[in-house]
Amino acid sequence: MGSNVWTDENEWPIGRNGGPDDYRSVETRKDLLVFTSSPFRTAVKICRPIVVKLFAATSARDTNWTAMILDVHPDGYAQRLNDGIVRARFRYGDDVEVFAPPGKVEEYDIDAWSTCVEQQPGHRLRLQIASSAAGKFGLNLNTGGLLGQESEGVVAEQTIHHESGRAPYLLVPIVPPKL
């Protein structure tokens, strides 16, 4: 995935913190992995927390993994629903600091917060995975240094696994239809 330090040349809309914007242009970035579901055949209500499961390795002692869940309209418009982040060193909880073993595949849970939306027929869900969302979430300079006291970063080589048994996936809470 390359560097997770964003600049204007990465074409990330600096200052964008979410909303009903169209994110299709972001999906052309080379450091972003995108998965899209098949279209819904019927209306589906999604309510409660969404979690993204990710199996990934990094060359760094610490790094960020970000996920964005989008509602893709039939015309292609990609609207952000939720997003979240996990810092590798805190993958077991905010009070447990364990650095990433370089090159080793680790399992990450990314809390993408809660939502309550009804996906309409013809709409699809999309998952974008990256290693940063500068302007939205704080930078991780990948060194494993003291938070907020790092002055220089290192480029991390990121590997997101997507083979059988290690594919990223969404845990999406579906509300059963009323009978």
Q: Structural domain tally of the chain?
A: 1
Whole-number pLDDT of residue 19: 64
| Any domain includes 47 | yes
The rounded average pLDDT for each run of 10 residues, N- to C-terminus, in the chain (179 residues) is 41 54 89 95 96 97 96 96 96 96 97 96 96 85 92 94 92 88
| Any domain includes 154 | yes
Whole-number pLDDT of residue 4: 39
| Any domain includes 3 | no
- Indicate the length of the chain as a whole number: 179
- For residues 73 and 79, the answer to whether their CB atoms sit within 8 Å is yes
Whole-number pLDDT of residue 114: 95
| Any domain includes 2 | no
CA 130, distance to chain mean position in Å, is 6
CA–CA gap between residue 65 and residue 131 (Å, rounded): 4
| Any domain includes 1 | no
| Any domain includes 94 | yes
pTM: 0.85
End-to-end CA distance of the chain: 46
Residues 6+ apart with CB under 8 A from 55: 105, 106, 107, 108, 160, 161, 166, 167, 168
Domain of residue 81: give its range: 8-175
Residue 130 sits in a domain whose CATH number is 2.60.120.260
